[in-house]
Amino acid sequence: MAYTVGQVAKLAGVTVRTLHHYDEIGLLSPSGRTSAGYRRYDDADLQRLQLVLYYRELGFPLEEIAAIIDDPAADPAAHLRRQHELLTVRLKRLQEMVAAIEFAMEASKMNIQLTPEERFEVFGDVDPEEHRAEAEQRWGDTDAYRESSRRVARYGKEDWLRNKAENEEWGRRMVAVLASGAPADSPEAMELAEEHRQLISRWFYECSYEMQTGLADMYLADERFTAYYENIAPGLAGYLHEAIHANAISRA
Amino acid sequence: MAYTVGQVAKLAGVTVRTLHHYDEIGLLSPSGRTSAGYRRYDDADLQRLQLVLYYRELGFPLEEIAAIIDDPAADPAAHLRRQHELLTVRLKRLQEMVAAIEFAMEASKMNIQLTPEERFEVFGDVDPEEHRAEAEQRWGDTDAYRESSRRVARYGKEDWLRNKAENEEWGRRMVAVLASGAPADSPEAMELAEEHRQLISRWFYECSYEMQTGLADMYLADERFTAYYENIAPGLAGYLHEAIHANAISRA
DNA sequence: GTTGACTCTCACGTAGCGGCAGGCAGGAGC
DNA sequence: GCTCCTGCCTGCCGCTACGTGAGAGTCAAC
């Protein structure tokens, strides 16, 4: 029993192009050709195709399918386990994405009368995002984090603008002190470290000296924060780190 | 506040190449360049990047992200709904794949002492596969289908070979009658139609005349089956269809 | 002999980057 | 002033699993 590409395509429910492709990559080459060059598939070819399609259904990449089928030493069960792991990871990721979308849809619904797109930026905006990363990395799911989340959730665009303005003002003075050559444990530097703590307390959560020194450590340990401060002024990350520690010690 | 690509990359947790790509496709072009041609990203660029990454997290294609962000008339909620549908479809598909893999793993475990790979072919083999499609399309989830499934599940490779041999023998005689020029309602043709029914009854499920005529109709309606019979001999699909109907009428 | 349905072989296009190559730019150290 | 190191630049090919033609030959039927 010999079949042409078109017949095989109909039988198996795939396109002719797919069969051409499988021939190209050597996954399924027909056992013969007619004198005119037409591909001729026999029953064995059909069986192989069924196997190929079976593994394809299971989400295996074509190259791996070839390996499983052609290598008599290959252990199908092992491949199945690997594939199962892979798929469950993808499945989990997809479930998270769906959950995130549902959350976004909820938010979009609730704020539709006030802020069609701006609330979106509460999640996507750079400052809150950086802050969220900061908090999550450091405390995960603590009281401070929850308090911060509660407060932040009520902030509007103007709040963020005011927050930003205050931050920038503080930043300018910090840079000035750094540029003045005053050491990190000078009164001026320590005063600005104290302001840093109060800014956080006012905008986000009650920030103790202990929490603040933890933050300071992270500013050096996590390159994302390092980059943020180093970009304002070279050396600022380390300077701020020192100033915060000095201030915390002097107040203890 | 201006940042270079590398700084932005670290801040946002993406690669420099990704930023280059976003610049190339116009999704996120830095607001300026230095005299040396270095990309300069400002705060607004960072905000846009956060938005982009947010939508990317939700699984949106980059082109659609650009549309959502750039088109002020675009309705984010509508996009969210569409994306939600899309993702749930993918999710369902993935869940099916995982279920199929788990099934395969079970089968692989249970038959490991008898048939390491051959049992696989019970699922992947062309004949059973075609038969499964046949049954599912026609009856979905009926007694006949369940009976067939039960029987088929116990067949070994030799059973399939015997089945195949009987089928081919029947096929040869069928082709002979067709070639002889005898009409489809001749006694010879009807006898072979009857054998067709008994073959099915013996191997798969109790096949009534009513069921058989249903099958015969499908042999013409579904091009996959048409292709199968036409390939054995041109005209066979229609001939068999007629013979089955004639036989069923004469036996009624 | 001519139509219409198939078939063949290139060969480019897709999404979202990864990863080279070859060549400037800018600051540090000698 | 020279060199070294790091970071930046612009191409450009590669990946998956085919889709979608283009242009040309083939096969059976009317």
Residue span of the structural domain in which A131 resides: 124-251
More confident residue, B181 or B164: B181
pLDDT of residue A35: 93
Distance of B155 CA from D28 C1′ (whole Å):
41
Provide the 3-class DSSP secondary structure of residue B156: coil
Domain annotation covers residue B189: yes
Residue where one domain finishes, among candidates A110, A134, A167: A110
Interface test with A, best of B93, B117, B226, B230 (most A CBs within 10 A): B117
Domain annotation covers residue A106: yes
Least confident of A133-142, A233-242, B1-10, B115-124: B115-124
Domain annotation covers residue A39: yes
B199-219 pLDDT, tens per residue? Answer: 888 876 777 887 788 778 767
Any idea what the CATH number is for the domain that residue B236 is in? 1.10.490.50
Q: How far apart, in Å, are the Cα atoms of B18 and each of A51, B34, B53? A: 38, 20, 11
B171 plus B198 within the same structural domain: yes
Cα three-residue angle A29-A35-A40, rounded to 5 degrees: 30
- DSSP code of B41? B
Q: A76, B102: Cβ pair inside 8 Å?
A: no
Any idea what the CATH number is for the domain that residue B9 is in? 1.10.1660.10
B128 plus B177 within the same structural domain: yes
The tokens for B91 are 């999710």
List chain B residues with CB under 8 Å of A81.
105
A80 plus A66 within the same structural domain: no
Domain annotation covers residue A117: no
Into how many domains does chain A fold? 3
pLDDT reading at B112 higher than 70:
no
Of A83, A124, A231, nearest to B50 by CB-CB distance is A124
Give me the half-sphere count of Cα atoms (radius 13 Å) on the Cβ side of residue A245: 14
Residue owning tokens 């019970």: B122
A100 plus A198 within the same structural domain: no
A237 plus A132 within the same structural domain: yes
B82 plus B168 within the same structural domain: no
pLDDT band at B124 (very low <50, low <70, confident <90, very high): very low
More confident residue, B183 or A208: B183
B128 plus B220 within the same structural domain: yes
Average pLDDT over residues B178-191: 90
B205 plus B128 within the same structural domain: yes
pLDDT of residue B34: 92
More confident residue, A226 or B59: B59
B15-58 pLDDT, tens per residue? Answer: 999 999 999 999 999 999 999 999 999 988 988 998 898 889 88
Provide the 3-class DSSP secondary structure of residue A147: helix
Residue where one domain finishes, among candidates A110, A136, A162: A110
Q: Using CA atoms, how far apart are residues A121 and A129, in angstroms rounded to an integer? A: 10
A59: left (phi over 0), alpha (psi -120 to 50) or beta: left
B37, closest nucleotide (Cα–C1')? D9
B83 plus B198 within the same structural domain: no
Domain annotation covers residue B42: yes
Q: Using CA atoms, how far apart are residues B48 and B27, in angstroms rounded to an integer? A: 9
Q: Using CA atoms, how far apart are residues A169 and A199, in angstroms rounded to an integer? A: 11
Domain annotation covers residue A119: no
* pLDDT one digit per residue (tens) for chain A, 252 residues: 789 999 999 888 899 999 999 999 999 999 999 999 999 999 889 989 988 988 898 889 999 999 999 987 777 778 888 888 888 888 888 877 877 777 676 666 544 322 323 333 323 333 444 444 444 444 444 555 556 556 655 665 566 667 777 888 898 898 888 888 888 899 999 999 999 999 888 876 777 887 788 778 767 766 656 666 777 777 888 889 889 999 999 887
pLDDT of residue B113: 27
Q: What is the ipTM of this complex?
A: 0.59
Domain annotation covers residue B115: no
User: Is A18 within 7 A of strand D by CB distance?
Assistant: yes
Domain annotation covers residue B9: yes
A197 plus A143 within the same structural domain: yes
A235 plus A146 within the same structural domain: yes
Residue where one domain finishes, among candidates B87, B110, B133: B110
pLDDT of residue B118: 33
A153 plus A192 within the same structural domain: yes
Least confident of B62-66, B122-126, B134-138: B122-126
Provide the 3-class DSSP secondary structure of residue B3: strand
Distance of B197 CA from D5 C1′ (whole Å):
83
